[in-house]
Each structure stands twice: as C-alpha cells, then as structure tokens.
Amino acid sequence: MAAATDKRNFIGAEYPRLETLQVSEPVCFLRLSPKPSGAAGTELIFGEKFHVHRREAFWVWGRSESALPGATFPGYVGWVRKSNLSPVGAPPNYRVTALSAPVFSNRSIKSRVKFCLPLGSVLTGRIEDSFLKTKNGFLHARHVDPIGNFAKIDWVSIAESFLGQPYIWGGVSSFGADCSGLVQTALRAICQDAPRDSDQQASMGDPVKLAPLPELRRGDLIFWKGHVGIMQSADQIIHANAHHMAVASEPLKLAAERIIKSAGPITAIRRLNF
C-alpha cells in the first residue's frame, strides 16, 4: 500500500488535540472521509491510541498512535467512528502474541468466546490461573506476553504465520493485511517499528544494488511502485497481494514477471539492520 500524498500524517496548528481515546473493537478502519463508504486509510487494532482533533456527529478526526514499545513513526490521520473508541484506561501491560487470541467469558477454555483479538493488541490485566483477566474477558496466558518482553525471533517467521490470510487494502491485522501492513505488523511483533506505507518503508535499512541483482537474504525488503515484499530466501518472496487476494509465498522470478506488467520493474531493495 502506498499513500497518495505526504499530507497523510499532517495535522495543522489550527486543530488542537481535544482528547485521546483508544480502540475498543478488535479492529476498525481509519477512513479518509467521515462515512462508512469512505476510502480506508489504514486499520487500527484493539488498544491503539487515537488523538482526537475534530468531532462530528458520529465520527472523530485525528491521528492514530501505536501503544506498543518501540513504535516511533507517526500514525495515520483520518476519521474513525466514535462507537469504535472508548476513554483511555490504565496503561496496557500485556500484548497479544498469538495470530488470533480468543477472549473467553470466564476463566475456562470451554466458556463462551466473546471475540478474538489480533496480533499486537494491547490490554490491561493480571494473570490468574493461566489466564489474563481483563475488563473485557479472559485470554489464555499462552496467547499474551507482558509488554516489554520481546523474544529474539526471526521476524520473517511472523510474516510467514500470516500465509493464507486474506489481502485487505489498508489492513494491518492478522485478520487480513496489505503488503506494507504485513511488513509493519511483523516488525512490530519483535519491537522493531516501520512506517505504514511502502514508499516510506523504501527508506528503511541500507540500499542494495539493483543491477546486477545480488544474492538476496532472508528479511530483505523488495519494492515495486506501490508494493513491497519480504524475501524468505535468496529466491522466494512472501507478500500480501491482490493477485492471490492473500498473503502468499512464491518464487521472486514469478512474482516479478507478473508485477512488472502493472507496476513496472523492481525499484529498490533494502536490507534491515537487525
């Protein structure tokens, strides 16, 4: 996903911050106009902050902000339905580490599942008998981790856990993602931040020469106009894409031959520094 304008993150001085809320639904969309049919700017996930700068009847306009440690890039600016937000509670102390974490009605895996939270959601609660007790319900302790505890794991393996999940324009959650949303979400899962859009991500890390094409490494990012993929190996790529309408793995050569017809040749390769 590539945004159309660099004004996507801009809020002028004429719009002071009115309040800060947080996302109270598993996922919701930040839209570019205050209506359900408005174009999706990006997806917000449970616990994410939203700084309100303007109010209308059923919508608020402002900027999102990730509550995860290490998130440094500015969030998106746009409209969110008021009903998807709630007042900010106690600071979150746990984050969801499962691709999808069921929230149970009671402290039992046999109890009713109220809803599921995507990877990266943040919550406030305490562990009781193998469950995280929150005001919204109970999550199994194996599906969460204290905020600040980040295992040193291969971030590409996080992206690979999304294989087969649907392609959703603007999506950043494990329920469905777009190309740059997959990159950002996988990196945030290991406490490494990334900007939201592919054109911004093309400035991350170190440049790798395009010609002659070098031997690529696992974790290299490869870019086309409006698209980004993650190298799984020297010749295999994983990316959320509208051709498969899913997160898919395929040979780079095959993907490049198809993408060049709509987006042109490869524009950049970046090697991340971790």
In the chain, list all ranges with CATH 3.90.1720.10: 155-271
Q: For residue 3, what are its two tokens? A: 């945004």
Model confidence over 105-116: pLDDT tens digits? 999 999 999 999
Q: Do 183 and 228 contact (CB within 8 A), yes or no?
A: yes
E strand or H helix that includes residue 262: helix 252-263
Average pLDDT over every residue of 58-62? 97
82 band by pLDDT with thresholds 50, 70 and 90: very high
Q: Do 225 and 1 contact (CB within 8 A), yes or no?
A: no
Q: Do 184 and 195 contact (CB within 8 A), yes or no?
A: yes
User: Considering Cα of 88, then 89, then 90, then 94, what sign does the dihedral take?
Assistant: negative
State residue 218's pLDDT score: 97
What backbone torsions phi and psi does residue 116 show, to the nearest 5 degrees?
A: -120, 145
Intra-chain end-to-end CA distance of the chain, in Å: 24
pTM of the model: 0.93
Architecture of domain 155-271: Alpha-Beta Complex (3.90)
Angle at 22 between CA 18 and CA 24, to 5 degrees: 135
Statement: residue 6 has pLDDT above 60: no
Q: Do 145 and 153 contact (CB within 8 A), yes or no?
A: no
Architecture of domain 94-146: Roll (2.30)
Q: Do 93 and 124 contact (CB within 8 A), yes or no?
A: yes
Architecture of domain 6-87: Roll (2.30)
Model confidence over 83-106: pLDDT tens digits? 999 999 999 999 999 999 999 999
In the chain, list all ranges with CATH 2.30.30.40: 6-87
